[in-house]
Structure 1
Amino acid sequence: MTTLAGINELFPQPEAAPRQANSVEDMGSEAFLTLMVAQLKNQDPTKPLDNMDFMGQLAQFGTVSGIQELNTGFGGLASALTGSQALQAANLVGRDVVTEGNVGLLRPVEGTAEEGDDPALALDATVAFTGNATSATLFIQDMSGRLVYSAALPPGVSSDFRVQWDGRDGSGAQLEAGQYRVSVEALVGGVSTTVPVYAHQRVESVAIAAGTGDVALNLANGQTVGMNTIKSIL
């Protein structure tokens, strides 16, 4: 009596398809060149490899390899730039910078205190005139919006103009140190306009954000700002 074949013999399973070779993107330069040489040696002499196909494979490999090299290069460049920016920022500690905002800090002026006396106070800012101002007025407000001081600026100013307030109100009384808002109204070309004002701030320390590597400056007024917000260094 004939023995029945097993299910695998009666219904043979198709052979597993051979694993596809790595794509060009997965190859290193040595493996790619070895494959190309073998392809040239074993090609059918009656049907040689088409030049365009050959150039296409080279271009594909060159593109992938080039992108990998660019990624590596840009990674190194980014690290170098972050390091350079951190060193530059570290050199700013203890110096004043011109910031985007018009809220300045009235603070003690170093070296002005005599024995038994409090040091003089000062708030510095830059007024960015963009046209010839026939007249201009400086206004100082506390953080509640109350006007504490005003004064006329010299006429005819047409460029950046530095102002310094000693912290005294209109009656000459000394106000407390802290933050104050600075603004300027000017008459330019016969038109009343608000002139941009940029407060000066002291850099207290430098911070580097974890993950992003962004460099930030910690200012004396408690703000933390990016290097790209600094208009100039004093």
Structure 2
Amino acid sequence: MTTVTGNSSVVDNLSITKRQETKRNSNELGQAAFLELMIAQMNNQNPLSPQDNTEFVAQLAQFSSVEGLERLNKSFNSFMSNNALQASSLVGRSVSVESDKSTLYSGGIVAGSVTLDYATTDTQMRIYDANGALVQTIPVGELPSGESVFRWDGQNIEINGNLLDWEAGDDAAAAGQYRFEVTATQNGKSEAIATSLSANVNSVTIGDNGELILNLAGIGAVEASKVKQFN
């Protein structure tokens, strides 16, 4: 009877070679080398004393799991890179988010909107400066149900594309931050109406969950999903 010898040496040499190749190659090549190593051991084992390959099979399952995780990480990193590229294009732009504060820049405008559940014949807008002093009280009057958009340049106000005919005064408001308060009579009761106002995007970050976070002038950090309009 022929005795199979040198099995341990053959497997050890193959193991050293495959470990070196694994360091040089990707995980996918490492898995292929691992399969070759397992087959080499099976081919060179003593037929009278076969080795238990349970550990090899368990390690092969770990290879598959690690490979799947690496592919998932690559896909996620690609997604994050695309998000970062898109985010960089938002810096310096103006967006509208739900807020009662906005910044008026010299020669610029504040864009905003309100949404009414019902049409109203009595809508008032009050604008306060950063110190809380009342700057203007604007009798907006009638507004339809749904969304109405407005633009304020520090003096005159345009609503739904129409310049409001009222006495705005001679002096325009100075550049700075302002707070807007809108009330409307609906169903016989005066109610405060939420406003959405424009703000410049100072910078953009990406949250842990991949969500874009916009850092808005005068407002702070706001999730991109909360943006109502890109101006």
> Could you say whether these structures have the same fold, taking a TM-score greater than 0.5 normalized by the shorter chain as the test?
yes
1:226 Cα shift? 5.5
Q: 1:147 aligns with which of 119, 134, 143?
A: 134
Q: From 198, 201, 222, give the equivalent of 1:200.
A: 198
Find out whether 1:89 has 2:90 as its counterpart: yes
Partner of 2:117: 131
**Are 2:104 and 1:106 equivalent residues in the alignment?**
yes
Q: Is the 8 A contact 1:131 1:158 kept in 2?
A: yes
1:196 and 1:65 map into 2 onto residues whose CA distance is 50
Measured after TM superposition, the shift of residue 149 of structure 1 is 1.7
Deviation at 1:197, TM superposition (A): 0.9
- Say if 2:112 and 2:195, in contact at 8 Å, map to a contact too: yes
Give the drift of 1:168. Answer: 4.1
Are 1:233 and 2:201 an aligned pair? Answer: no
Deviation larger for 161-170 or 193-202: 161-170
| Native 8 Å contact 2:123 2:183 kept in 1 | yes
CA distance in 2, matches of 1:122, 1:83: 28
- How big is the shift at 1:108? 3.9
Distance 1:60 1:35 in 2: 16
Question: Matched residues in 1 for 2:189 and 2:136: separation?
Answer: 23
Q: For residues 72 and 106 of structure 1, do their structure 2 counterparts lie closer, same or farther at Cα, with a shift above 3 Å needed?
A: closer
* Cα 1:194/1:52, change in 2 over 3 Å: farther
Q: So what's the TM-score if we normalise by structure 1?
A: 0.60
Q: Deviations over 1:74-96 (max 9, x none)?
A: 2233223212321x325xx3x53
**5+ long unaligned stretches in structure 2:** 1-15, 157-166
**Cα distance between partner residues in 1 of 2:205 and 2:143:** 44
CA distance in 2: counterparts of 1:195 and 1:47, whole angstroms: 84
% identical aligned pairs:
29
**What are the equivalent positions in structure 2 for 1:1-234 lying under 5 Å apart?**
28-42=30-44, 56-86=58-88, 88-89=89-90, 93=92, 95-109=93-107, 122-127=109-114, 129-134=115-120, 135-168=122-155, 172-174=169-171, 175-202=173-200, 207=203, 216=214, 219=217, 225=221, 228=224, 230-234=227-231
CA offsets 1:29-62 (integer angstroms, 9 cap, x no match) = 1332123213443567689899998765543321
Q: What RMSD, in angstroms, separates the aligned Cα atoms of the two structures?
A: 4.2
Query: Which of structures 1 and 2 has the bigger CA Rg?
Result: 1
Whole-angstrom CA distance in 2 between matches of 1:131 and 1:50: 74
Instruction: Provide the C-alpha distance between the structure 1 equivalents of 2:33 and 2:194, rounded to a whole number of angstroms.
Output: 63
Amino acid at match of 1:131: D
Q: In the alignment, residue 123 of structure 2 is paired with which amino acid?
A: A
Q: Which runs of 5+ in 1 are unaligned?
A: 1-20, 110-120
Q: SS of 2:198's equivalent?
A: strand
For 1:186 and 1:43, the matched residues in 2 are separated by 88
Is the partner of 2:123 in helix, strand or coil? strand
2:98–2:194 CA contact under 8 A, matched in 1: no
Contact 1:133 1:187 in 2 (8 A): no
1:233 shift after superposition: 1.0
How many aligned positions are there? 191
- Greater share of residues in helix: 2
SS at match of 2:144: coil
